[in-house]
Amino acid sequence: MSYKGRFKPHHPEKYKGNPTNIIYRSSWELRMMTWLDYHTSVEWWNSEEVVVRYLSPIDKMPHRYFPDYLVKLLNDNKIYMVEVKPKKETCPPKPSKNKRKLLKEALTYAKNSAKWDAARAYCAERGWKFLIMTEDNIYGRKQ
């Protein structure tokens, strides 16, 4: 089952941006949005409102990356840029006899790595912190 839709915040005053145009693309993103909307430690948040430019290692062309969230917590001077991804996409692919699968996973990992390197640099320039959240973080699984 595919999860995609519009998120309607119960606390639109916490959303920095247009609260009528919040899109989630997975159940993990929906869960994260719900947490950001309701959790009392969140001062403000937004979704895909920041543009990070990066050079793709695949086609050597410049591209735009829209990180999932920007979050400011109460009692914390840091701003967090957060990306939600399946854990398997955050690690180099494992060797496989299925060459197509291996190639697809390698390309995905290379593209993600380029995006995240650019995001880390973007955050460093601003004094922000970049985080990648996986199913382990979102569902509280032990790592």
Report, as an integer, the average pLDDT of 43-54. 97
Q: Is the pLDDT of residue 142 over 60?
A: no
User: Which of 51-55, 59-63, 122-126, 132-136 is the least confident region?
Assistant: 132-136
pLDDT at residue 1 is higher than 50: no
- What is the reported pLDDT for 2? 55
Which residues are known to be catalytic? Answer: 29, 68, 85
pLDDT at 143 over 70: no
Q: In sequence order, what DSSP letters do the residues of 31-89 get, joined into one string? A: HHHHHHHH-TTEEEEEES---EEEE-TTT--EEEE--SEEEEETT---EEEEEE--GGG
What's the pLDDT at 140? 80
pLDDT of 141 > 80? The answer is no
pTM for the model stands at 0.90
Q: What is the pLDDT of residues 51-110, one digit of tens each?
A: 999 999 999 999 999 999 999 999 888 999 999 999 999 999 888 889 999 999 999 999
State the amino acid at position 111 in one-letter form.
Answer: K
- Percentage above 90 pLDDT, the chain: 83
CB 110 within 8 A of CB 54: no
Any idea where the domains of the chain sit in the sequence?
Answer: 5-138
Q: What is the mean pLDDT of residues 124-140?
A: 93
As a CATH number, domain 5-138 is 3.40.1350.10
